[in-house]
Chain A
Amino acid sequence: MAPLQLRNLCLNSLLLLLLFTACSPTQGYKLSKREVVSSAQVKSIINADSSRLYKAGISLYSKYYSGLILLKQTDATTSHLVFVTELGMKMFDFQIRDNEMKLIYVFEPLNKPELLNLLENDMKLICLQHLLNKEVDVYEKAGENSRIYKLQNKKQRHFYVTDAPSRTVSRVLVKGSMRVKENVEYSYDSNGNASHIKLKHKGFIRLKIELTAITKKV
């Protein structure tokens, strides 16, 4: 190998290494243990005591859908995520039971497998269904309240940045082998309920979901 090629190879490798380490959400954190995440560590987005209503905006490529998303726990193991338009038409209804999402209803023009898979995955991500009751790596940093949970499967790594005292997730990063694929950010009200949630895909899929909590009573 020519000296110039060797030098370029070394530089490229160094750059890639820097890129990987600089972008790692766990930078500065140490793997402390592996545990099953329960509600004692992370509070669910779905409130067991009362339903939550959000103003929702979904931007998908050139289309924009707005409406309301209702999150409601109907029994000890079952919850629903329902999207209705402002005018009252129901668009979809997902049932969440034991960390599995099942489509109960979809407005016929939206009944497209690719779209529904995308929505299902994103709603699971927003509702922390990939994290809760799963065994994950826990990263901690001395003197910090934040804790990062890392979940890995064949294709993706999920990083959940949490505030341990309040048991809330502030950010979720989904990374592929090379780059960030999705990012979710959460804000909370004084009662610890999610007041604003923003999901954004990076790369080829141009999808954004934004939820803002509103009151059901007028």
Chain B
Amino acid sequence: MHKFFVQLLLVCISSLTFAQVAFKPVKDTVALKAKIDNMSKNTGSIDSDFTQVKNMSMLSEKITSKGHFWFLRQESGAQKSNNLRWEYTTPYQYTIVINKDKILIKDEAKVKKYDMNSNKVFKEINDIMVSCVNGTVLNSNKFKIAYFENETGYKLELWPTQKNMKESLKKINMYFDKNVTSVVKLEMQEPGDDLTTIEFSNKKLNGPIAAEKFMLK
């Protein structure tokens, strides 16, 4: 599973700017999947800034937040774990850490700890986010995936197949650079056409990240 883990991590992390050139279907999807697998295998850590924009179409309203993102793949013998930290810094302070099967949240000064399965609502949101970040979404039967490309990169459209997920999520778009070295941008489109965009910038791949980053006190 870890090989997919990095797919979206990388997905989430490129500072490339995509030209808005029309995308067309990818002919050789097997080769593209292989590139994404390779990208995942070669990425052990990611350290990046991110900008998130929530666009509420009906209300003509945008909420922009910024922060920092860390990913670390840890291997101890046969055991592998994928750790994530999303740290929102402006306009509010909020940190979410996924450490194995634990979810840790720091909201202002309060720290909350959850088992992954203890909160149905949280699990639903988290499953979507994590599977995008760790790339398991590519192998998931919860989505039908369409592959597109233009001169500067690739776009994967992930359409939910399950009824309950369709009620909350219309589709996810994942953008890769042309060499598939990283993910550039994530877009999550809701049924009412609200759109959440996360763009990654200033990324550092495979640098050292302390395990303490994935603990909260």
Contacts and interface: CB of A to CB of B under 8 A. Distances in A.
Contacts of B105: 66
Given A105-B192, A107-B121, A218-B90, A89 B63 contact: no
Contact of A87 (B62, B90, B96, B168): B96
Nearest to B196: A88
B148 interface: no
B91 A216 contact: yes
A205 B124 CA distance: 26
B16 interface: no
Bin chain B's interface residue count. 35 or more
Interface string B109-136: 0001000000111001100110000000
Contacts of B61: 51, 70, 72, 216
Interface in B186-217: 188, 190-192, 194, 196, 198
B211 to A, nearest CB: 23
B107 to A, nearest CB: 5
B64 to A, nearest CB: 5
Interface in A160-218: 214-218
B15 interface: no
Given A72-B59, A90-B190, A217-B91, 6 more contacts: A66-B94, A74-B59, A86-B96, A89-B188, A216-B63, A216-B64
23 contacts: A57-B107, A66-B94, A66-B107, A68-B63, A70-B56, A70-B63, A72-B59, A80-B59, A84-B63, A85-B125, A87-B196, A89-B196, A90-B190, A93-B192, A107-B121, A107-B168, A108-B124, A108-B164, A108-B168, A109-B124, A216-B91, A217-B91, A218-B65
